[in-house]
Amino acid sequence: MFDTITDAFQKALQLIFSGDPEVFATALRSIYVAGAGTLLACIWSIPIAVLLGLYSFRGKWLIKSLFNAMLGVPTVALGLILVMFLSRSGPAGFLHLLYTTNGIALGQALLVTPIIVSYTSSALSATDVQLRDLAKTLGASHLQTNIAILREAMWATVLSLISAFNRGFGELGIALMVGGNIAYMTRVLTTSISLEATKGEYAFAVALAIVLLVMVVAITVFVNLVERLRE
Amino acid sequence: MSPVLELNGIVKDYRNLRALDSVSFEARGGEIVVLIGVNGAGKSTLMRIIAGLEEPTNGSISFNGQSMTAKELRKNATMVFQRTAMFNRSVYDNVAFGLRVRGEDDKRISEDVPQALRLVGLANFEKRKAKKTSGGEQQRVALARAFLLNPKILLLDEPTANLDPNNSMIIERAITNRKKEDEIIIMATHNLAQARRLADEIVHIYNGRIVERSIPDEFFTSPRSEITRKFINGELEY
């Protein structure tokens, strides 16, 4: 078994360093769906986070609890619900998103919403409460005040976006069920690893897994480095 | 014409607590009105209402004869808080914040910010991280930030609390130099000596009510209220 592992790693490294087009196309597709999913989720997640982090209203704790609970939602369950919604006879069938990369991106956007909302709203509510009064007394409008506070929590927000991206990048259930793992179309790193491992093609699976891990680590280290330099 | 601020029967309730009870007084441009009182008397609440950061439960505020909403008050008043809050930016960006949100151009900002910092003895502090300066320096940054906006009503909530005598002196000097006909300065403090040095008029608040309002000499030598007499002599129990 040890030989199999070392052999797989050797072949994996050969595939990566020889610039295997299939490995790189799959990696780029993964970056696209996770990136698009995270950006899409920002459209609704950041305003919700501002609402939960900076304003008080009845039932806020319940909404926050629901988002916190959804942090661990099983991707397969979410994928299943999405398939039913996006299938031709489903309520969102007219969008023609099933078995497309945009469909996976939409699914991942829903998956990462609780991550962005929970982490960003917590960071916002942890900012100095007096900063809001300060911004207001210096003449800032509601929007300018919220932007100023969001800027105070910028690094925590960036980290929540990185976590969201990494979650999307590494998930399997949605990509498999909504994307269908179609070669050259919707195949991403995780679905490809799963397929290759099932076929016994460990070298290719390990090559993809290395790319996946290196990218996740590299992005996080890069962001932390920028934060450190900024400090 | 110097501006006139009038408070008429201001009441502020927080659930079961009446923080302010029928507070009325008048302040004019060119004078420093000092609100004095023990902790929890209602000074900060009153300042926040004048700053437009809180709505009164009852009563009204008018400025130059016009009744003002909280939003309108925020356009005329700027407040410096007791516990200084700083944005996580440079001293320059902190001082420039108010001008930027007002849409002032960068050229004017780049001229005015260093000048405002010089007035509070912080020349060449522009590039420093505001949060990494000392407490006294932060309070002076806050003062420069407020001065720069030329508010018609400048509210200073215990601006020298917890500061060393040197920083307190610099801040007091900056406030005194600031006095001008078109600006009302209202300052809260529980430092009697400071009130005597700076005030044109002293308003003593106790349990949310005004118990004494007079010029410093009268306030300290012949107070009309027994509560004020006890407060001056350090005999007031609260």
Nearest to A138 among B48, B88, B149 (CB): B149
Choose the mutation target among A137, A142, A158 for the interface with B, i.e. most B CBs under 10 Å. Answer: A137
A90-94, A161-165, B164-168: which has the minimum mean pLDDT? B164-168
Residue A182 belongs to domain with CATH number: 1.10.3720.10
A74-88, A101-115, A211-225, B102-116: which has the minimum mean pLDDT? A211-225
CB count within 10 Å of CB A92 equals 15
Choose the mutation target among A130, A132, A136, A138 for the interface with B, i.e. most B CBs under 10 Å. Answer: A138
Mean pLDDT of chain A: 92
Does residue A221 sit at the B interface (CB-CB below 8 Å)? no
User: What residues contact residue B168 under an 8 Å CB cut-off, 6+ apart?
Assistant: B160, B194
Does residue A136 sit at the B interface (CB-CB below 8 Å)? yes
User: Which burial class, exposed, middle or buried, applies to B70 when counting CB atoms under 10 A from its CB (0-12, 13-18, 19+)?
Assistant: middle
User: What residues contact residue B215 under an 8 Å CB cut-off, 6+ apart?
Assistant: B199, B200, B201, B202
CB count within 10 Å of CB A154 equals 13
Residue in B with minimal Cα distance to A153: B88
> How many angstroms separate the CA of residue B235 from the nearest CA in chain A?
34
C-alpha distances out from residue A198 to A4, A170, A194, A204, A213, Å: 15, 18, 6, 11, 20
Q: Give the tens place of pLDDT for each residue, B30-75.
A: 999 999 999 889 999 999 999 999 999 999 999 999 999 999 999 9
- Return d(Cα A98, Cα A49) in angstroms, integer: 29
A chain contacts of residue B51, beta-carbon cutoff 8 Å = 137
Does residue B123 sit at the A interface (CB-CB below 8 Å)? no
B chain contacts of residue A151, beta-carbon cutoff 8 Å = 87
State residue A146's pLDDT score.
Answer: 93
Half-sphere exposure of A166 (CA within 13 A, CB side): 17
Residue in B with minimal Cα distance to A148: B87
- Return d(Cα B134, Cα B18) in angstroms, integer: 36
Kindly provide the b/e burial profile for residues B200-237, where b requires at least 16 CB atoms within 10 angstroms of the residue's own CB. Answer: ebbbbbbbbbbbbbbebeebeeebebebbeebbeeeee
Q: Are A64 and A121 in contact (CB under 8 A)?
A: yes
User: Which burial class, exposed, middle or buried, applies to A218 when counting CB atoms under 10 A from its CB (0-12, 13-18, 19+)?
Assistant: exposed
Task: State which amino acid sits at residue A125.
Answer: S
Query: Do the Cβ atoms of A135 and B145 come within 8 Å?
Result: no
Q: Count CB pairs under 8 A between chains A and B.
A: 49
Query: Do the Cβ atoms of A138 and B85 come within 8 Å?
Result: no
Q: Bin B29: left if φ > 0, else alpha if -120 < ψ < 50, else beta.
A: beta
Range of the structural domain that residue A31 is part of: 2-230
What is the ipTM, given to two decimal places? 0.89
Q: Is B1's pLDDT higher than 80?
A: no
- The predicted model gives A199-212 an average pLDDT of 87
> How many angstroms separate the CA of residue B53 from the nearest CA in chain A?
7
Look up the pTM and report it. Answer: 0.80
Q: Are B12 and B56 in contact (CB under 8 A)?
A: yes
- Return d(Cα B50, Cα B60) in angstroms, integer: 10
B184 vs B190, more confident = B184
Q: Decide the pairing of beta strands B17-28 and B77-80.
A: unpaired
Does residue B132 sit at the A interface (CB-CB below 8 Å)? no
User: Which stretches of B54-164 are DSSP H helices?
Assistant: 70-76, 91-101, 106-119, 135-147
Does residue B53 sit at the A interface (CB-CB below 8 Å)? yes
Q: Are B4 and B26 in contact (CB under 8 A)?
A: yes
- Return d(Cα A219, Cα A162) in angstroms, integer: 8
State residue B208's pLDDT score.
Answer: 95
Query: Do the Cβ atoms of A141 and B101 come within 8 Å?
Result: yes
State residue B65's pLDDT score.
Answer: 92
- Return d(Cα B34, Cα B168) in angstroms, integer: 16
Q: Give the tens place of pLDDT for each residue, A98-135.
A: 999 999 999 999 999 999 999 999 999 999 889 999 99
Q: In total, how many domains does chain A have?
A: 1
State residue B104's pLDDT score.
Answer: 94
B chain contacts of residue A141, beta-carbon cutoff 8 Å = 101
- Return d(Cα A217, Cα A175) in angstroms, integer: 21
User: What residues contact residue A154 under an 8 Å CB cut-off, 6+ apart?
Assistant: none
B chain contacts of residue A134, beta-carbon cutoff 8 Å = 81, 85, 87
DSSP codes, B131-160: GGS-HHHHHHHHHHHHHTT--SEEEEESTT
Tell me what percent of the residues of chain A surpass a pLDDT of 70. 99
> How many angstroms separate the CA of residue A125 from the nearest CA in chain B?
15
Q: Is B134's pLDDT higher than 70?
A: yes
Does residue A135 sit at the B interface (CB-CB below 8 Å)? yes
State residue A2's pLDDT score.
Answer: 64
